[in-house]
Structure 1
Amino acid sequence: MNIRKIVTTVEEIRTEGGRQVTPAARIAVVAAVIENPWAGQGFVDDLAPGIAANASDIGAVLAPAVLDALDAPAEAYGKAAVVGLDGEIEHGSALIHTLQFGDHFRKAANATTLLPAVEKRGAAGTVFDIPLKHITDATVRSHHQTTEVRISDAPHPGEIVIALAAAAQGRPQQRLAPLSTER
Structure 2
Amino acid sequence: MGDVKYFFLAVGWLFLQTSFAQHTPMITNYNASEYKAHHQNWSVTQSSNRIIYSANTFGLLSFNGNSWSLNKLKSNKLLRSVFAKGDRIYTGAFEEIGFWEEDACGQLHFKDLTPLIDDKLVRNEEFWHITTNDKFVFFQSFSVLLAYNGQNIQKVPVQGSIMFLQFKIGRA
- Higher-RCO chain (CA-CA 8 Å, sequence separation at least 6): 1
Q: Which has the higher helix share?
A: 1
Answer yes or no: same fold by TM over 0.5. no
Larger Rg belongs to: 2
